[in-house]
Amino acid sequence: MSRRVVVTGMGIISPLGTGVEEYWSALAAGCSGIGPITQFDTSGYNVRIAGEVKGFEPTDFIDRKSSRRMDRFAQLSVAAAAMAVEHAGLDVAADAENIGVLVASGIGGVKTFEKETGVLLEKGPGRISPFFIPMEIANMASAQVSIHLGARGPVSTVCTACSAAANAIGDAFEIIKRGAADVMLAGGSEASISPVGIAAFSQMGALSMRNGEPERASRPFDLERDGFVMGEGSAILILEERERARSRGARIWAEISGYGMSGDAFHITNPEPSGENQARALLAALREAGLRPEDIGYINAHGTSTPPGDTIETRSIKIALGEHAREVAVSSTKSMMGHCLGASGALEAAACILAIENGIIPPTINLENPDPECDLDYVPNQAREQKVRVAVSNSFGFGGHNVTLVFQAP
């Protein structure tokens, strides 16, 4: 019999705030964390808005020397992991070899890459920082967490674009189930609000250009949606074998019971139009959890606010759930914080867990003119009080990566 896995702590740094309470309060209130970009001069850019993390000071969590040798995405992951460990009351040093780390990033250290490329072009190869590579590579979100906390169990990284954090949580779940670790710090981190990041996604036609009203720019399932809004942040969950958590008297926030994956085998950026492959991931997660479609109370949608993506996800939910698709509450928290790329799946997993805990479903804000092809219950504009026993989180990544996680009340 496979071991059961529970969530005993969370660390969150997001455009909506830092820490579990601040994050949840903003979600439940339907606040927007999107505004004008402040991290660089956006003059001449088609896109000038993003969901930035406000007031983050890495030296609150990391010594100054170490923080200067990390890209922002790694700083965010170390800070979120430290908060998660404290939230869970976890003593890493007491059982370090049985505690692992799996933190995803879709992009990695783009800020460092951009900066050092500028140094190369302006000053020549001899002026490149010797820390360039260990700051830029995507595995450093996990590696730096392991180093700073002393976790010596399985340490790895997932890089599956916008589904990366969900894959990280799911893979960590499987690691604990098979007995390779008792505890995993799992989630994602991303910090791609940079000149290259914004320009590149803008040139793809992926980003909203609603610069004059940033709070209304991310509008999943709305007929007037015109692309996603870039976000940044990190969320780390403490996944723990259930009996271990019980034996130490830990608070159990939720149980993770299902993890489904599928591939589109279709296109480098566009989801496969039928929605059948996304539906397969959802159904696979339900099978592993031993649940039926009728058991689901809430779906945190991938819901990016892109014209094809939201329509196809709606289609996939109908395929997977049948008639129950009309009964289940579906919302996109990206409407409030934008799309945090490789961190999204972890931030949205936390939203599912907190919806279960609080009996409140966060809304899809800015849903003012519903797309006729997006005709499910998207909890428009205001949170809803509703008991949730089972919550599902969808995450989909460029290249056709489809991931669904299932969380249940403890």
Rounded to 5°, the CA angle 375-378-383 comes to: 155
Q: Is 367 a member of any domain?
A: yes
Q: Are 285 and 392 in contact (CB under 8 A)?
A: yes
Q: Is 385 a member of any domain?
A: yes
Residues 302 and 243 in one domain: no
Residues 186 and 214 in one domain: yes
Tokens, residue 91: 């003593």
pLDDT attached to residue 278: 98
Residues 83 and 232 in one domain: yes
Rounded to 5°, the CA angle 287-290-292 comes to: 80
**Burial class, 45, CB count within 10 angstroms (exposed 0-12 / middle 13-18 / buried 19+):** middle
401 catalytic residue (yes or no): no
Active-site residue identified among 87, 339, 374, 401? 339
Residues 216 and 89 in one domain: yes
Active-site residue identified among 87, 148, 302, 401? 302
Of 178, 213, 247, which residue is a domain's last?
247
Residues 320 and 231 in one domain: no
Of 247, 277, 293, which residue is a domain's last?
247
Model-level pTM?
A: 0.97
Q: Is 272 a member of any domain?
A: yes
For the chain, the first-to-last Cα distance in angstroms comes to 19
Residues 237 and 287 in one domain: no
Residues 133 and 207 in one domain: yes
Active-site residue identified among 87, 148, 162, 352? 162
At position 108, the amino acid (one-letter code) is G
> pLDDT per residue over 167-211, tens digit each?
999 999 999 999 999 999 999 999 999 999 999 999 999 999 999
Which residues of the chain, if any, have pLDDT below 70? Answer: 1
d(CA 206, CA 210): 12
At position 220, the amino acid (one-letter code) is P
DSSP per position, 117-128: HHHHHHH-GGGS
Residues 119 and 267 in one domain: no
Domain span including residue 69: 7-247
For the chain, what is the domain count?
2
324 catalytic residue (yes or no): no
Domain of 110, CATH number, reads 3.40.47.10
Contact partners, residue 45, CB within 8 Å, separation at least 6? 195, 198, 199, 202
pLDDT attached to residue 181: 98
Q: Is 2 a member of any domain?
A: no
**Virtual torsion, Cα 182, 351, 138, 263, nearest 10 deg:** 90
d(CA 158, CA 62): 24
Residues 215 and 305 in one domain: no
Residues 268 and 295 in one domain: yes
302 catalytic residue (yes or no): yes
Q: Is 276 a member of any domain?
A: yes
Tokens, residue 324: 């129950």
d(CA 158, CA 259): 15
pLDDT attached to residue 2: 77
Which residue intervals of 159-194 are DSSP H helices? 164-177
Of 247, 269, 287, which residue is a domain's last?
247
Tokens, residue 10: 């969370």
pLDDT attached to residue 1: 62
Contact partners, residue 116, CB within 8 Å, separation at least 6? 128, 129, 132, 136
Number of helices (H), then strands (E), in the chain: 13, 15
Residues 320 and 198 in one domain: no
